[in-house]
Structures are given as C-alpha cells and as structure tokens.
Structure 1
Amino acid sequence: MSDTFSHPEHSPLGKPSAYVDRYDPALLFPLPRLTKRIEIGLPGAIPFLGADLWTAFELSWLNPRGKPQVALAHVTVPCETPHIIESKSFKLYLNSFNNSRFADAAEVLARLRADIAEAVWRGSPTPGSVGVKLLSPEAFDREAVHEFDGLSLDRLDVECSRYTPAPDLLRADTAQLPVSEVLTSNLLKSNCLVTGQPDWGSVRIDYSGHPIDQEGLLQYLVSFRNHNEFHEQCVERIYMDIWTRCKPTKLTVYARYTRRGGLDINPFRTSHPQPLPANVRMARQ
C-alpha cells in the first residue's frame, strides 16, 4: 500500500461498507504512526517502550463441517511498529472470517498473527511480530473485570474550562522532594480523528519525580474532551506532554478505552523496561 492511500481519509472509517464474510486479509488498513508523532516532536527514534493491547469480542469462523466457532482475541501490537491498524478495517477483516472454514482454532490464530504483523510492520526493514491469543468459550468465565489501582484524580473538585489539549496546565513542584505515585482518572474522552465519534477512556499515570500538580493534571486530561485523535496518538501525546513539562525520572501512561465495533484499544507507554500489563477489561469495556 503506497503512502498516498495510508491516510485516514482513504480508510473505510466513516463510510458505508460492504461486510465481506469470506476471509480477506487485504481488508486491513494500516496507518503510519510517524505523521502524528512528528506533531508531538518525534520525527525519529521514540523515547518510550510499550504496546497497544487490543481485544476483539466479535470473532467467529466455521469449522470443517460448517459449524460456527467463537472466541475472544487478545492482540498485542508493539509501539515500535511503523503502522497502526485503522479500527473499522480491523472489524471488517474480522468479519471476513465469519463464513470461512478453518481446520481449527490454531489455523485461525496463525492467520491472525501473520496478517496483522504484515500490516503493522509493512515497509519496515526489520519486520517483527505481534502477539495474538485466542480465548475459547470455556475460558470466558475466567475473564476478570478490574479497575485501575492508584489515587483517583476524579476526587478533586476542580473547574474545567478547556477542552482541547492544554499542556501548559501541567507542572511539577521542583521545591518538593521526589515521589513515586500512581494517579488515575475515568474522565478521559477524545473523539475519533475521522468521524468525530466519542471515545471514552480511563487512564493510569505511574511516575517517579517531583510531585505533579494533581489539579492541573486532571484539568489537562479533561482538556482532551473535544480533541480528534486516535487512541494510540492521544496516549503518546499525554506521555510526551508529561515527560517534557514535568520531567519525571520514570513515567508510564496506560489508557483503556471502551469498545466500539466489538473492539477495544488500550495503549501502554513507558520510559523503562517492564512487563506489559495483563489485558484485563474494566467495567465500562
């Protein structure tokens, strides 16, 4: 796919779409990460680690005898990939499994892993892999629901009047000794870059450094309310704004967004090596 057609306006998002029910990996529409990273001052190497954790709730195919099978899929896309996948195209791709026969779940898993990896690593001189895990119905009852741990910023009674990203609200008190704390909020909202549809999320900020002003941080998170950007891009913008303005020695930003179209996307960015969080959904997901 040429760069000419790797832009949101050329994707199926926000357009009438024919729902293909026969397996078709060409439905996946990769979008370059670089365009939005340049906006936040990252034209080259990225100063963080992490991944985008996807959950696909609507996955079904036919076994060799034509009997429908269902599963949940957890997909892990490293943040080093040159592309993300536009979410509607991902839904259309998953729908293409609906009336296609596969030998077993292992074949479906292999197709998912190969197709998604090809799309997100497309054009990379050193392509890598993605993580895919299928959960059968026998495992559904073990899927936990858990809210973020940490101190909720939402307890603060603050006035909010800015609804586009306002990084000048962020500040750290350099006169105070460094701390390590985890701050959370359920008040993150942004809008789809293409359709303007609302994206509702929760965010967890784990940092070490001079204390970040909590009222300003909450007002800053609320300032995304009318901002149009994809989930992955919002989280990287939040990360870089905190990193450059508050200058913590360590920082992790993790957001979990409510599902749309049977998919949720949960970006995780961190300054230092650590295990990825378990892909455990929250109540709103």
Structure 2
Amino acid sequence: MHPAAEHSPLGKSSEYIATYTPSLLFPIARTAKWAELGLSAETLPYTGVDFWNCYELSWLLPSGKPVVAIGEFAIPADSPNIIESKSFKLYLNSLNQTPFASQAELVTTLENDLSAAAGKLVGVKIRSLKAIEGEGIVALPGVCIDDLDIRISNYDRPQPELLRCDESRIVEEALHSHLLKSNCPVTSQPDWGSVAIEYRGPALDHASFLAYLVSFRQHSDFHEHCVERIFMDLQRLLNPQTLTVYARYVRRGGLDINPYRSTQRLTMGNGRLARQ
C-alpha cells in the first residue's frame, strides 16, 4: 500500500456531501513511488499527463435547475501529487447541489481546487453530452498482441525479466493490449485497462511483452504508477530513441484515469475506447 493511502477515504465508509467542499480532495505525493523506480522529481525521463474523465458531473444554475456534463481534467505527470480517486469523486459530488453563476465560474473553481491538490496547474474542460456523442469511440494504434500464445503462472508482481528484444534490429512500431489488469492498493478491487506503446529502438519481442503485461494481474498499485513502471522497464530494456506508454482504464465510480508518459513532448489525445 502507498504509505499515504491508508489515511485517504478509499475503502472507508464516507458521507456523501452534496454542497461544495474542496477540503474533500486528498493529495498523495508521487515521491515514494518515483523512488521505487529510482526516480525523483529532478530526474524524470518522461513528460506526460494523467487524463481523468468524469461522467457524473452536475451542478445547479442560479435558477436551481441542474446541469449535467462530462468533465475532462489533465493533471501533469510531474505534479508533486496525484489525487486519490475516491476523494476526487466525493469532491465532484459536492458540486451536485451547488449553484454557479456560469460554467466559466465552475471551470475556474475546479482549476483552482484541483491545481492546489496536485501542486501544479490542472487543465479543466467541461464538455456537453452532444459533443461526446459526436466523437464516438477510438481504437488504439498499431498491432494488438492479445492473440499471441504465451504461458505464465505468476501474477503477483510485474516481471521485467520476461521482456526480450532483438538488439540487432531497429524498428519503429506501435503495439497495444487490452489484457492489462491490476488491483487497487487499498481496496483490492480490480482495475481493468488497455495499454499502448509506441517506440523506436531495438525490436521488442511481442510475446514477451504480453507475458510481462499479464504479470501485473494481481499487482497492487495506482494506475499512474503502473504506467510509469511499464515505461521504466521498457526504457531500461530497449534504451530506445523514442518511447511513449499510455493506458486507458475502465471507469470506476464515474471516473476513468488515463496516464500518458513519453520521451517526447506530444499532443496527447483523450479518445474514448469501447470499454470506456
């Protein structure tokens, strides 16, 4: 368990407050998990963002009429803190019976509160259901490796020793899998996700990569830390010229979390997958 997670509302009975309460947000420092990977805020080998999508965003107009919308929040990957997911949900629920003079006022409120919790500026967009419906769903890029034949029997920890590559062959390719699963480090509830990588470097053995991803199946960690671990294990194996790793997780409690990590400064999309 993350050393701070035991003090969060995750896994505990909680009162659902329906009026604006920013103190519900519970930040968790990234430093402990960075240290597990041999990293610090000054030595991060990637840039990126954590996209959070909220499908249960609602507030009141000054007339008392409710509004529903989709919230998109972009938390920088180098922010000092992540925001614990249940506290995020409780905070968003506290908007349900709260009037705002305008949508712009709501956006400013969200930006201020979330940025204070994360320790760095958080981007906020509020999107209409019509806009989301018009976009539909997207597919991950490159080759899906899920049909490869593998054998694996240990699921308790990520196993980077399973990874193989051909150093004599340099490739540029994109791979993805829908078989990523890990567990919440507090409640042990399953977290289901799809993961994609894009890289240029020594050719990664696809079957070994799939076996490695499946080895996360009983591993307990937050979404952001799983993606960072995958990034670092591939970085150490391949020493690639470029590397991007991201995951799209299935929503829980009306929120999905989608961490992106890359050696390049990319414009990262937030397209919704079929399971989202």
Compute the TM-score of the two structures, normalised by the length of structure 2.
0.96
1:232 matched to which residue of 2?
224
Q: What's the offset of the Cα at 1:76?
A: 0.4
Could you tell me which runs of 5 or more consecutive residues in structure 1 were left unpaired when the two chains were aligned.
122-127
1:46 matched to which residue of 2?
44
The counterpart of 1:9, out of the listed 6, 9, 27, is 6
* Matched position secondary structure for 1:154: coil
* Matched position secondary structure for 1:119: helix
Q: How far, CA to CA, are the matches of 2:83 and 2:25 in structure 1?
A: 7
* Matched position secondary structure for 2:167: coil
Q: What's the offset of the Cα at 1:246?
A: 2.2
Task: For 1:168, give the aligned amino acid.
Answer: E
Judged with a 3 Å threshold, the aligned counterparts in structure 2 of structure 1 residues 137 and 273 are, in CA distance, closer, same or farther, namely closer
Q: How far, CA to CA, are the matches of 1:142 and 1:207 in structure 2?
A: 31
Residues 26-52 of structure 1, C-alpha deviations (whole Å, 9 max, x = no match): 111000011111011113421100000
Could you tell me which runs of 5 or more consecutive residues in structure 2 were left unpaired when the two chains were aligned.
none
1:27 matched to which residue of 2?
24
Task: For 2:215, give the aligned amino acid.
Answer: S
Q: How far, CA to CA, are the matches of 2:135 and 2:264 in structure 1?
A: 28
Q: Which runs of at least 4 in structure 1 moved beyond 2 Å after TM superposition?
A: 136-141
Q: Does 1:165 align with 2:158?
A: yes
Residues 132-163 of structure 1, C-alpha deviations (whole Å, 9 max, x = no match): 11012342422321121210111211112221
2:215 matched to which residue of 1?
223
The counterpart of 2:248, out of the listed 248, 252, 256, is 256
Root mean square deviation, CA, Å: 1.3
Instruction: Compare the two structures and name the one with the higher strand fraction.
Output: 2
**Identical aligned pairs, as a percentage?**
52
2:70 matched to which residue of 1?
72
* Matched position secondary structure for 1:188: strand
Kindly indicate whether the alpha-carbon contact (under 8 Å) linking 1:53 and 1:77 is maintained by their aligned counterparts in 2.
Answer: yes
Q: How far, CA to CA, are the matches of 2:88 and 2:206 in structure 1?
A: 37
Q: What's the offset of the Cα at 1:175?
A: 2.3
Kindly indicate whether the alpha-carbon contact (under 8 Å) linking 1:172 and 1:211 is maintained by their aligned counterparts in 2.
Answer: yes
Q: How far, CA to CA, are the matches of 2:132 and 2:51 in structure 1?
A: 18
Q: What's the offset of the Cα at 1:220?
A: 0.3
1:113 matched to which residue of 2?
111
